[in-house]
Structure 1
Amino acid sequence: MASISNDKALIHELMEGSGDLHSLTAYMSYPDQIPRDTKITEIKEKYHHLRQEAKGIEFAINP
């Protein structure tokens, strides 16, 4: 998905980040609920419910 969309955030997270695309999707999908200074590696623990919802977003757009 990252290579097809050429999404720089996805590619960076896969290549240099934690590799947790569910947390990255939550971070990108909920800017009003996840503070912008939150590290991607903290989202799974601090915003688990939003990360779970983000999985649904990913699976809906990724056949």
Structure 2
Amino acid sequence: MRNSVKVARVKKDLTQQQLADAVGITRQTVSLIEKGKYNPSLKLCLQICYVVGGTLDELFWVEEENF
């Protein structure tokens, strides 16, 4: 499952470490989220959205056929 976290992070000129620090997770977790290999909680998704200035739909919505 892919998401748009990396695109939003880069647009905000943030490194993985900076995003991780802002939401209280490790850089490795950010990497896994961006690769679609970690399924974050709703709370974490919202925290990421607030930091990068995106919505849940923009960053995390995946069409059913892409599961």
Q: TM-score, normalised by structure 2?
A: 0.33
